[in-house]
Amino acid sequence: MLPTPRFDFALTIALYTEWQAVLTRPEHMPPGVTVAAALGYLRYLASLAHLQDVHFLWRPFLRDPDDDMVLECATTSGSQYIVTHNVKDFRRASELKVQAIKPADFLTLLRNKP
């Protein structure tokens, strides 16, 4: 679905670095996909993203500092949603006017949105 005019997504340099570290771990690599291919895909995603600077921090706000980094990006960029399988880790995001939703729920929103 990318690129699409239906939504934009924001990315900070810190978040991109975290994506590189996490998504290239052996346990996260799909069978047959090389680290080089995964990094290439991440570069492609980064080329589509809105690069967001973060000039202020709320840390600690959530339990996990890496989740705080995601919330900072979302809040600073004015994002409406954080799309994640770990919705429970972002319970307090609503205090900053950001809603954490699961990927399936986000796809449902896209399908139902004119």
> Is 16 domain-assigned?
yes
What's the structural domain count of the chain? 1
| pLDDT score of 35 | 96
| 2 within a domain of the structure (yes/no) | no
Cα 13 → chain centroid: 12
The residue among 98, 69, 61, 72 whose CA lies nearest residue 83 is 98
Task: Give one DSSP letter per residue of 21-38, joined into a string.
Answer: HHHTSGGGSPTT--HHHH
Q: What is the pLDDT of residues 32-53, one digit of tens each?
A: 999 999 999 999 999 999 999 9
Q: What is the pLDDT of residues 62-79, one digit of tens each?
A: 999 889 999 999 999 999
Torsions phi, psi for 81 (to 5 deg): -130, 150
pLDDT averaged over every residue in the chain: 93
5: in domain? no
Q: Identify the band that residue 27 occupies on the pLDDT scale cut at 50, 70 and 90.
A: very high
In percent, how much of the chain has pLDDT > 70? Answer: 99
Residues near 109 by beta carbon (within 8 Å), at least 6 away in sequence: 101
Task: Let me know if residue 86 belongs to a domain.
Answer: yes
Is there a domain that residue 1 lies in? no
Whether omega before 30 lies within 30 degrees of 0, making that bond cis, reads no
CA angle (108 as vertex; 90, 13 as ends), nearest 5:
45
The phi, psi pair for 10, rounded to 5°, reads -105, 155
Per-residue pLDDT, 60: 87
Would you say 74 and 97 are in contact if contact means Cβ atoms under 8 Å apart? no
Q: pLDDT class for 8, splitting at 50, 70, 90?
A: very high
Domain of residue 14, residue span: 10-112
pLDDT beyond 90 at 59: no
